[in-house]
Structure 1
Amino acid sequence: MAVSKAKKPQVMKPATAAQKLDVYLPATPREFQDRLVSRDELDELQRNPPEWLVDLRRDGPHPRNVVAARLRVSNSGLARGGVTEALTTEEIAALAADPPEWLVRERESFAEVRREQRRLQERRD
């Protein structure tokens, strides 16, 4: 009878874990940034987020994909608008409250792309 080896836990780099948690890696605690994260640890962080994760998700700074989603533009639209850094929730709210011309333009473009995607999807269904 063959003896099976103990299953090695699946681990990921901190950058991958931060991406899966939708947080900006440089804003996470040093102990999170400096070690590999197991799949079980990631699942636990998602189920029972510690205070630092709750605060980071609420206040930021947020990674580009989260900033883009909150502003309702694409990641490329952010770049065209000159937004290259992570933004806090407060900074995102300020942009949304008084949108610069680039943001208005990018939102319109993004909405048009989404409408076209829905139209094509409906034709396929």
Structure 2
Amino acid sequence: MTPAKSPQTMKPATAAKKLGIYLPAAPRDFQDNDITREDFNALQENPPEWLAELRRTGPHPRPVVAQKLGVSISGLARGGVTEPLTTAEITELLQSPPEWLVAERSTMAQVRAEEKRVKEARRAKG
């Protein structure tokens, strides 16, 4: 007989990253316990109110902040944004963008245009 398999689990930090939430803002129960694959899937399919609220209002982790602002994570660091931001703070930055944000968004647009050009050139060769 083979021993029973234990369920696949992930650390809270991994689950938070996959869910796009800032771990210290999550409930203590979520932070302190490993999450099974089954529990993780349930969180994705039917998010509890605390998860929906975190996704809606934040605070958001750097990758989510960068995506919402349209800049890279490095761009956030160059702009001096080192702490998680709430949705309200992100909206405020977008409504009256500081100089660093305008510059980083321009840089990101140039990078995306270059990536698109390279992709099209490869497709034309292939």
Give TM-score, length-normalised by structure 2. 0.95
Partner of 1:55: 53
* Offset at residue 122 of structure 1 (A): 1.4
The percent of aligned pairs where both chains have the same amino acid is 62
Structure 1, unaligned runs of 5 or more: none
1:97 aligns with 2:98: no
Specify the SS of the correspondent of 2:39. Answer: helix
Equivalent in 85, 88, 96 of residue 83 of structure 2: 85
Aligned equivalent of 1:6, options 1, 4, 20:
4
Q: 1:106 aligns with which of 85, 104, 110?
A: 104
The correspondence of residues 8-27 of structure 1 with structure 2, limited to 5 A, is: 8-27=6-25
Displacement after TM superposition at 1:7 (Å): 2.0
Are 1:73 and 2:50 an aligned pair? no
| Counterparts of 2:120 and 2:13, CA distance in 1 | 36
Find out whether 1:64 has 2:41 as its counterpart: no
CA shift digits 1:25-75 (9 cap, x unpaired): 000000000010111111110000000000000000000000000000000
How far apart, CA to CA, are the structure 2 residues paired with 1:121 and 1:50?
40
> Secondary structure of 1:45's partner?
helix
Output the TM-score relative to the length of structure 1.
0.96
Pairwise CA distance, 1:5: 2.6
Q: Residue in 1 aligned with 2:119?
A: 121
**How many aligned positions are there?**
123
Local SS of the residue matching 1:68: helix
Q: Which runs of 4+ in 1 moved over 6 A?
A: none
**Letter paired with 1:88:** T
Report the counterpart of residue 44 of structure 2 in structure 1. 46
Counterpart Cα distance in 2 of 1:113 and 1:102: 16
Aligned residues: CA RMSD: 0.7
